[in-house]
Structure 1
């Protein structure tokens, strides 16, 4: 269906983005008999896993958890080949879901939404795309992703550089050839940490430019244990229940579901605590997030985990000077994203790898042939930029979104993002985002399912009340933001410069971007709001058709 076909240009729901959130929203809307249209800038489904296809790209939550739960048949029929699936397998999974549930029929690919403008009189959203199409919808759902708006490299002299340039967030479909080349990588966040070991194996020489060292833990990837796989699939309902009642939606240790922690790191003996950290280190992945209940709340508790991981990192690097440069000291562990990796620290034991600490020796400028640092020209044939994302708000900021009376979303967020339930903001009726600012810090696929179901429930409640529009009241939104801020101030996140607080974007107002109250608390708030609708302004009279 062409977007310019006026006879088909009016929908109940428009969804922006065909990643895991957008695909589920399309599926949920169709199941409720709603007319839905999804626009996707890429040529295929998958979102993050369509765009981020650099060497080493993979999920850091176990595959059995980082997957849809809405279809038991889907859960049991899909066979994961690794504990932590790589990008190609995740993309195959996304395509399998799209085909199995016939989702492509309602998705327009290679179509970028340029604007979404609310019509105050019609109480509908007018959505325009870069293909010249225009559609209207009662509801506009932004499923544009948590980490989907890459930052453009901004370095002096970059326009002079004549070598090859690549960005991890927009990796070419045709794999670059680094064999025999001198390669530089700028950035040691999660993407950089994944790609660095892979490039080091191929390039004749690799120079890593590091600004802030990261806490890293081994992923310990490999094929799933066949016995554990059979057990999980037989008891998937129990696993999902445990996830949805946990803090962040991933609960496995050694590929076995574990209940949420209840003890403080400080109430157990040093021997018991050390044994638990060793157990989690041996398991691999992100299970250190849920070792003890207070590692993100207490400086003293956090220090025990920070010290443990620092010692482990140093033991993996042969040169003490390099080990020291790779070790983070100035912020508490977990307040920046923990990076689960394979052979990252060991990569710096290779003769063809050099670490440049740009805090002590900043990048002065790019030249035609490389990068000058502290007066030294480092000749490079190719440079890879792993320079991060404008998290949560960035993807929507880049679309011209206007609510009531022409108010732009950028204006609304000029003094800091605001939201109600991490899904909407006052002044923008019937506009909802998924996995966006103010949402719970949670397994993104499971959260997409929960939020998609919530949206469907609210739409049905509106219809029952004979209304067409709902909009968060300013009072409910202010209360939600105060709650978010209060919870954040109880944690260690404000003590670190991190993307959770928006610190990686110059000029971005500092405010916590996630709800950190835990999923049970988040679910309760959402369910209460959907049940009584008291926290919304309702408007628009539903027209009934008579024979």
Structure 2
């Protein structure tokens, strides 16, 4: 392994250390290493070896989004299997061609709903024509509309994940809510805030252009109307445009030679085909798989939930694995009504407090004696702060010595957790060879942790077979099955549990991430801006040259395993900005406001983010996957400009509590510092 390869694969060569802060596996100050030091050193070598197997020069381009596939068969797998086209076509059009709306929100999942509700609660969208939501799905829910595979549950505790529980008064049925329950909750929110008549489903925003003369956004939309009717193009005006794409909105598949030639049934988990499997989204009796040989490609968070369901019904199950998941215990249980009333939802602001508690536990920021409210496998992940940040150790100086100390500390915190996860495999899986292949050799932060009390157990069944590709992936497909290592595995049904395009693509540009062409002042493309200078925002929600345009933050915002928390932080902040700008315009006798971040303010914020980015040096030791865009984010750029841009795309490094406090202080100060507000008087 060359020095460059070692650096890219998790062996820190910048300061002559092995990534644990020691040289050659020795203890601190030249002392003899402890048994723990030696075990950690050995594990890190294994981490590097396993990561190197999976690094491919094509990076994310080894996958293709379903909608962009050359094969019409693969493209067809993206179609919405749940939309009731006849019913939707019979309804009056929620969005009228040529109309002007105060707010147009791209997205009607939990993110779009949260933004809409906060705007309504603030009195900013009270009129019948004030707000419209646009979504490609046939109903509310975002990822919970599309994903209806058997076994589907949220992996974060439902009491913290399901938004607006306090406002709706809803009590989740279990600690980890099922997919149907999560989808129902989206409808519940839409009903309570009267949003059903204010959304255009089966529609995509193609582009937005800022109109300098009219001082608003020209929004181009295409509405699909099902296989029996032609789609229609719509153009509207929006005083404010908000893009709220989810993290899991672009399903993709690996470019497996011959995949479209497979003669059996095939579908993606993001568009489960119950016509093939039998059962339904609310009924996981997969009788259509009885007597069938079923293959599933992928062993990520989705497959962890799906495989046990397949094992209950199929004659044979073949699980094709490139990289194993770390599978922690789940501990699912029903919500106890007494506990709910007396300990969980027992005071105003309980859900926000609970969200903050989860973040604090993961960031090692719980105060002495403070309760771990969630107390599940998430909060036992000692090193997960590596991806969401922490204020516990302050800002990491970008020197080889300080980075080495920081990396060593986080690896040491994480090691007992990863060791326990691997030991759990041995405790559960009977066959030693299968158990060895199911062990995850990477730090806990490198891939989405998974949680199940059924997945590992499934491999003790005689008809469930692990086909470990040793990091290479499936070689090819034939008309009758899949080929791995020269052996063909005949299949009747193929399930593609192959995930989604990473939100880190293009540095998290809001245009590419949301699939919308965004053109601001002077016709400048936001994607070109991101490509030229890197991420450039104020607080992760707006960028200069794009007035009255906001987005949910990824780059330069806050990170957390609970995406609803992140959405809530962005929605609250954006609504404050808009509300204060509108109040200012009203005081000055204007009809509305145009608000835009200054270049100076976004550059100051970008430099602050960049100055904290050394915290995330731990990510360099990761195996390729969704989080790092299949390894594209792992390499150290040799071009200083590219290194500069890469650092700007980081999230806030000092933990969620300091981020939210920073934004609260900004809002309390009240001046909209760093934002220019123009009063429109017509």
TM-score bucket of the superposed structures, by smaller chain: 0.7 to 0.9
Query: Aligned with 2:412: secondary structure?
Result: helix
Query: Aligned with 2:132: secondary structure?
Result: strand
Taking the aligned partners of 1:396 and 1:349, their CA distance within structure 2 comes to 46
Taking the aligned partners of 2:353 and 2:570, their CA distance within structure 1 comes to 18
Taking the aligned partners of 1:516 and 1:502, their CA distance within structure 2 comes to 17
Query: Aligned with 1:354: secondary structure?
Result: strand
Stretch of structure 1 that moved more, 302-311 or 419-428: 419-428
Q: Deviations over 1:378-431 (max 9, x none)?
A: 111111112122233668412222222222233233365443322122332221
Matched, 1:178 2:296: no
Q: Please identify the structure whose Cα radius of gyration is greater.
A: 2
Taking the aligned partners of 1:200 and 1:94, their CA distance within structure 2 comes to 30
Mark the CA change 1:181 to 1:175 in structure 2 (over 3 Å): closer, same or farther.
closer
Taking the aligned partners of 1:343 and 1:487, their CA distance within structure 2 comes to 40
1:523 paired residue number = 660
Q: Is the 8 A contact 2:541 2:574 kept in 1?
A: no
Following TM superposition, by how much is the alpha carbon of 1:52 offset from its aligned partner in structure 2, in angstroms? Answer: 0.9
Q: Is the 8 A contact 1:163 1:369 kept in 2?
A: yes
Matched, 1:420 2:542: no
Stretch of structure 1 that moved more, 184-193 or 308-317: 308-317
Following TM superposition, by how much is the alpha carbon of 1:117 offset from its aligned partner in structure 2, in angstroms? Answer: 1.9
Query: Aligned with 2:299: secondary structure?
Result: coil
Q: Deviations over 1:439-481 (max 9, x none)?
A: 3123332333332222221112222443722233334334434
2:351 paired residue number = 240
Following TM superposition, by how much is the alpha carbon of 1:485 offset from its aligned partner in structure 2, in angstroms? Answer: 4.4
2:93 paired residue number = 2
Taking the aligned partners of 1:474 and 1:66, their CA distance within structure 2 comes to 35
Stretch of structure 1 that moved more, 289-298 or 408-417: 289-298
Following TM superposition, by how much is the alpha carbon of 1:526 offset from its aligned partner in structure 2, in angstroms? Answer: 2.6
Query: Aligned with 1:300: secondary structure?
Result: helix
Corresponding residue to 1:86 among 169, 178, 181: 178
Matched, 1:430 2:575: no
Corresponding residue to 1:307 among 405, 408, 419: 419
Following TM superposition, by how much is the alpha carbon of 1:376 offset from its aligned partner in structure 2, in angstroms? Answer: 0.9
Consecutive unaligned residues in structure 1, runs of 5 or more: 252-257, 264-275
Following TM superposition, by how much is the alpha carbon of 1:520 offset from its aligned partner in structure 2, in angstroms? Answer: 2.1
Q: Is the 8 A contact 2:250 2:500 kept in 1?
A: yes
Following TM superposition, by how much is the alpha carbon of 1:247 offset from its aligned partner in structure 2, in angstroms? Answer: 6.5
2:558 paired residue number = 440
Stretch of structure 1 that moved more, 420-429 or 233-242: 233-242
Taking the aligned partners of 1:447 and 1:513, their CA distance within structure 2 comes to 15
Q: Is the 8 A contact 1:335 1:496 kept in 2?
A: yes
Matched, 1:45 2:140: yes
2:484 paired residue number = 373
Taking the aligned partners of 2:546 and 2:184, their CA distance within structure 1 comes to 36
Matched, 1:136 2:261: no
Q: Deviations over 1:272-291 (max 9, x none)?
A: xxxx9xx99x9644222469
Following TM superposition, by how much is the alpha carbon of 1:87 offset from its aligned partner in structure 2, in angstroms? Answer: 0.2
Consecutive unaligned residues in structure 2, runs of 5 or more: 1-91, 224-232, 278-287, 386-391, 394-405, 586-591, 635-641
Taking the aligned partners of 2:244 and 2:360, their CA distance within structure 1 comes to 19
Q: Is the 8 A contact 1:24 1:452 kept in 2?
A: yes
Matched, 1:532 2:532: no
Stretch of structure 1 that moved more, 154-163 or 422-431: 422-431
Mark the CA change 1:501 to 1:194 in structure 2 (over 3 Å): closer, same or farther.
closer
Matched, 1:74 2:168: yes
Matched, 1:119 2:245: no
Matched, 1:463 2:582: yes
2:599 paired residue number = 474
Taking the aligned partners of 1:79 and 1:390, their CA distance within structure 2 comes to 33
Query: Aligned with 1:363: secondary structure?
Result: coil
Cα RMSD for the two superposed structures: 3.2
1:270 paired residue number = none
- TM-score, scaled relative to structure 2: 0.69
Q: Is the 8 A contact 2:447 2:627 kept in 1?
A: no
Q: Is the 8 A contact 1:246 1:519 kept in 2?
A: no
1:169 paired residue number = 270
Q: Is the 8 A contact 1:146 1:435 kept in 2?
A: no
Select the structure that is richer in helix.
Answer: 2
Query: Aligned with 2:317: secondary structure?
Result: strand
Matched, 1:65 2:163: no
Q: Is the 8 A contact 2:242 2:551 kept in 1?
A: yes
Matched, 1:495 2:621: yes
